[in-house]
Amino acid sequence: MSQKNETITLILALAITAAILAIGFGLFNRKSNVNLDSLTNGANTNSPVNVTINNFPAPTNVPSGTIVKIQGSTSLVQINQALKTAFEQKFSGTTVNGEAGGTEQGIQSLIAGTIDIAAISRPLNEREQAQGLVAVPLTKDGIAIVVGYNNLLGSKGLTQTQVVGIFQGQITNWSQIGGKPGTIRVINRPVFSGTHQAFREKVLNGQNFGTTPNIINWPKDETTVVLQQLKTDGISYATFAQVANQQTVKIIPIDGLTPQAANYPYQRELYYAYKEPASPQVQAFLGYVGSPEGLRAMASPNPGIPGEVK
């Protein structure tokens, strides 16, 4: 073989090798990115476009005296408490103050600058984004349909169509869905509740709640009191983590599925929101939230495993 032919052969071999390496690197990098995204604060390809991945670095130390103020959705009370405990234990002298009052209150306080982080159970809208607010996805959450523990509704639960009928006032008697005759008292959460808004979107497909006399609009976003109102003839809804271990209520399966199931129909995303530019305490706390320790702490209050009711 001539020297010229040997040179051409060598060049072709190098080109083919480079192409193979490039393709392999691309596939590896793509796979790595997908895995990282799926582990970062519950972020996934189905997240709304108005959220961002939590890219704050995990802090190695946080100055003593640092205070982080969190306010917002009652759906995040347990996660807030778990993160507060873990953060304060890791960084001596720090304080995390959490307060529940509803998603809307948290957002308004964040805009006003009186808190550091808003715990919210719905995505931010364009108006809120225009004011510098940024949402970081935390975790998936199921909205549970609940009745009083002594309610005699059959163990087979409800269908999605029946749930819509109940909360829009088309089904008003337990006998219409297999229960004993009697009026269904629907305990609805207030309109400023993020869970109310998520229920309207996820369960009622964006339509309004009913206005029939049996539907009671509770004035405050307080899960404990709502659950106390259920008794034997009431029905309502709440974030699954808040009712999973309650002894006074029953969680109603929907189309045979409980909120732990991966394909449960009433799933939503929960978020932390902050205002740009992020303050040092926000960067430190969200950096911790996104760390392996923070993710473990955040997962700890979420009971149950995926399951299906037969």
**pLDDT score at 65:** 98
CA distance 308 to 265: 12
pLDDT tens per residue, range 39-65: 333 333 333 444 567 889 999 999 999
Asked whether the beta carbons of 303 and 140 are under 8 A apart, the reply is no
CA distance 124 to 271: 9
Given the DSSP bridges, would you call strands 215-217 and 185-188 parallel, antiparallel or unpaired? parallel
**pLDDT score at 108:** 96
Q: For 246-270, what is the mean pLDDT? A: 93
Q: Which string of b and e fits 208-236 if b means at least 16 CB within 10 Å?
A: ebbeeebbeebeebbbeebbeebeebbbb
Asked if pLDDT for residue 294 goes beyond 80, the answer is yes
Asked whether the beta carbons of 120 and 271 are under 8 A apart, the reply is yes
Locate the domains of the chain by residue range. 142-251
CA distance 281 to 87: 12
Give, in order, the Cα–Cα distances in Å from 277 to each of 62, 122, 136, 169, 283: 18, 22, 14, 45, 10
Burial of 169 (0-12, 13-18, 19+ CB in 10 A): middle
Residue 251, phi then psi, degrees to nearest 5: -90, 125
Burial of 116 (0-12, 13-18, 19+ CB in 10 A): buried
State the CATH class of domain 142-251. alpha beta
CA 297 to chain centre: 15
pLDDT tens per residue, range 160-213: 999 999 999 999 999 999 888 999 999 999 998 889 999 999 999 999 999 999
**pLDDT score at 220:** 87
Query: What are the DSSP E strand ranges found in the chain?
Result: 67-72, 95-100, 117-120, 133-148, 185-188, 215-217, 234-239, 249-251, 267-275
Q: Extract the tokens encoding 44.
A: 């996934």
96's CB contacts (< 8 A; 6+ apart) are 67, 68, 70, 80, 83, 84, 87, 88, 285
Q: For 228-247, what is the mean pLDDT? A: 92
pLDDT tens per residue, range 139-158: 888 999 999 999 988 667 99
pLDDT-derived band at 101 (thresholds 50, 70, 90) equals confident
Report the run of H or E that residue 226 belongs to, with start and end.
helix 223-228
**pLDDT score at 31:** 29
CA distance 245 to 260: 13
CA distance 206 to 276: 30
Q: How many residues does the chain have?
A: 310
CA distance 124 to 105: 13
pLDDT-derived band at 105 (thresholds 50, 70, 90) equals very high
pLDDT tens per residue, range 259-280: 999 999 999 999 999 999 999 9
- Angle value at C-alpha 101, between 184 and 247, nearest 5 degrees: 50
